[in-house]
Amino acid sequence: MSDPIRAVINLDLPGARISRHIYGHFAEHLGRCIYGGFFVGEDSDVPNVRGIRSDVVDALRALNIPNLRWPGGCFADDYHWRDGIGPRDQRPRMVNSHWGDVVEDNSFGTHEFMDLCEMLGADPYISGNVGSGTVAETSDWIEYLTRSDDSPMAALRRENGRDEPWKVPFFGIGNEAWGCGGHLRVEQFASLARQYSTYVRNHAGNEVYRIAAGANSDDLHWTEVLMTSFDDLTKVDAKAVPFQGISLHYYTLTGDWHDKGNALTFDTEEWYLALSRALHMEQLLTRHGQVMDRHDPHRLVGLVVDEWGTWWNVEEGTEPGFLYQQNTLRDALVASVHFDAFHRHADRVVMANIAQTVNVLQAMLLTDPESGALVKTPSYHVFEMNTGHHDAEGLDIHLLGVPSRSVDGGELPLVSASASVKGDTALVSLTNLDHAEERTIELDLRGRAYLEATGRLLSASELSAHNTPDAPEAVAPVTLDGIRRTDIGLSVTLPAGSYATISLTLA
């Protein structure tokens, strides 16, 4: 066994608050995410409430899901919200040109989505249509959703069965404007973002956090132009920013966009390559944050990573445009290292959204189209194990003696960690990325004593282990044995390829 790794944590020096919205989710009209995932219709044999799957709601409520982004993604810039209101049998059909070129009947629209959010106890994050929509359409939608008096859109909402307005705290100004959202130059989009944001108004006490479509991965120029686009406004009023957040999209894959890598069949080199590319998120947050800091030193504008996760080749035999992939222990560790990065950048990262919640990409849940069975993926369990970080205050962890491995022209640290404190409870997240060797970590706990320590472990006998209807708990949390109190804190040994959380009750 290798020498122990030392992790120094000052429990009495809390840092930035880790927003619960970092644990946000994403539901697009894509494949079986909405239809067959969230929504089965009221006549389905699958237990449902007003057409929304009850088991999906129950599973997501266990994650304390903080927000849900909808209707896209690329789909958002083809979506016209008026087509998804009123009697379902009278709604017009539309072509989902981005994802499978299928025809949709708009049976899941604004009222159904807001009903879903209320069932989940989640804040709605609505993505507006900038690509093919109009400013007036966007203005009318936010009025329809949030206005309480007898305005035209409020009256229309009442005609469709909803008397009281909803709260909509988050609204996206376009999506991937550099790509499927219009293939715009950033200078074009920056002007549109100012214009559209102006018309996403605060009605009836509803305060909207407006999020402009941001950069693709390493495109620092996109962030630079968006941040400079309101310099003239802030010279008059420091808080006169047209949007309060800008987004960032980054996906983890081991190949390229033509051959992204396989979800289930991979060797150890691909294991490490995926984890190394997931850790690139740290670099992205640092670099985009530095650009934002130059223009916004008081951090009035937040960074919103509203699409992230693994993207593999689709499962053989499934529709290529539906992006259905399995989810293994490797995906779970990709999620854990992302969260560690988000925690470290909690002073700028205000929200993040995994892509996507059900049956698409790095999903939390998979539903079997034949049996109707629901499966919780390994990634689901990382989200559940991390709920203690929601709205907690981040704690710095200083790791000493961490071994690394040369991967893809760089060095991959084989242990990742983060921590937080909330009242008299601290939570430490630890990931052993080594595929073959267990690692012992000595937690050097300073500033506060602890009374009790308990741990949970997510691991598996095989790197490609995953959950199915026949083996729903092949990768599931168990009690972490072997936590030992020491003179400086505690010692814990992590199996190869594993994720653990340690909960500390503080004196």
Mind listing the pLDDT tens digit for each residue in 150-188? 999 999 999 999 999 999 999 999 999 999 999 999 999
Q: What's the pTM?
A: 0.96
Same domain, 382 and 405: no
Q: Where are the alpha helices (DSSP H) in 126-228?
A: 135-146, 152-159, 186-199, 220-228
Rg (CA), the chain: 23
DSSP-derived letter for residue 72 is -
Q: Are 288 and 223 in contact (CB under 8 A)?
A: yes
**Residues belonging to the active site:** 176, 307
Q: What is the pLDDT of residue 3?
A: 86
Q: What is the pLDDT of residue 397?
A: 97
Q: Give the CATH number, domain containing residue 382.
A: 3.20.20.80
Q: How far is CA 469 from CA 101, 372, 409, in A?
A: 29, 9, 39
Q: What is the pLDDT of residue 1?
A: 59
Rounded to whole angstroms, how far apart are CA atoms 163 and 157?
A: 7
Rounded to whole angstroms, how far apart are CA atoms 505 and 244?
A: 36
Same domain, 131 and 277: yes
Name the residue among 144, 301, 81 with its Cα closest to residue 211.
Answer: 301
Based on the number of CB atoms within 10 Å of its own CB, is 206 exposed (0-12), middle (13-18) or buried (19 or more)? middle
Sorted by sequence, the CB contacts under 8 Å of residue 373 that are 6+ apart come out as 367, 469, 472
Q: Is residue 196 situated within a structural domain?
A: no
Domain boundary among 368, 391, 414: 391
Domain boundary among 357, 391, 425: 391
Same domain, 214 and 297: yes
Rounded to whole angstroms, how far apart are CA atoms 81 and 214?
A: 23
Q: What is the pLDDT of residue 237?
A: 75
Same domain, 333 and 444: no
Rounded to whole angstroms, how far apart are CA atoms 447 and 429?
A: 19
Strands 245-252 and 302-310 turn out to be: parallel
Rounded to whole angstroms, how far apart are CA atoms 55 and 470?
A: 17
Same domain, 385 and 415: no
Domain that includes residue 317, residue range: 20-175+210-222+243-391
Domain boundary among 391, 418, 453: 391
Same domain, 214 and 300: yes
Same domain, 465 and 447: yes
Same domain, 386 and 423: no
- Count of structural domains within the chain: 2
Amino acid at 385: M
Q: Is residue 166 situated within a structural domain?
A: yes
Based on the number of CB atoms within 10 Å of its own CB, is 264 exposed (0-12), middle (13-18) or buried (19 or more)? middle
Rounded to whole angstroms, how far apart are CA atoms 299 and 344?
A: 15
Based on the number of CB atoms within 10 Å of its own CB, is 310 exposed (0-12), middle (13-18) or buried (19 or more)? buried
pLDDT digit string (tens) for 248-280? 999 999 999 999 999 999 999 999 999 999 999
Q: Is residue 234 situated within a structural domain?
A: no
HSE-up of 57 (CA within 13 Å, CB side)?
20
Same domain, 436 and 473: yes
- Phi first, then psi, for residue 388 (nearest 5°) are -65, -15
Q: How many CB atoms lie within 10 A of CB 76?
A: 28
Share of the chain above pLDDT 70, in %: 99
Cα 502 from chain centre: 23
pLDDT digit string (tens) for 438-487? 999 999 999 999 999 999 999 999 999 999 999 999 999 999 998 999 99
Q: What is the pLDDT of residue 238?
A: 67
Question: 77-98 as b/e, with b when 16 or more CB fall inside 10 Å?
Answer: bbbebbbbbbebeebeebebeb
Same domain, 304 and 437: no
Q: What is the pLDDT of residue 231?
A: 83
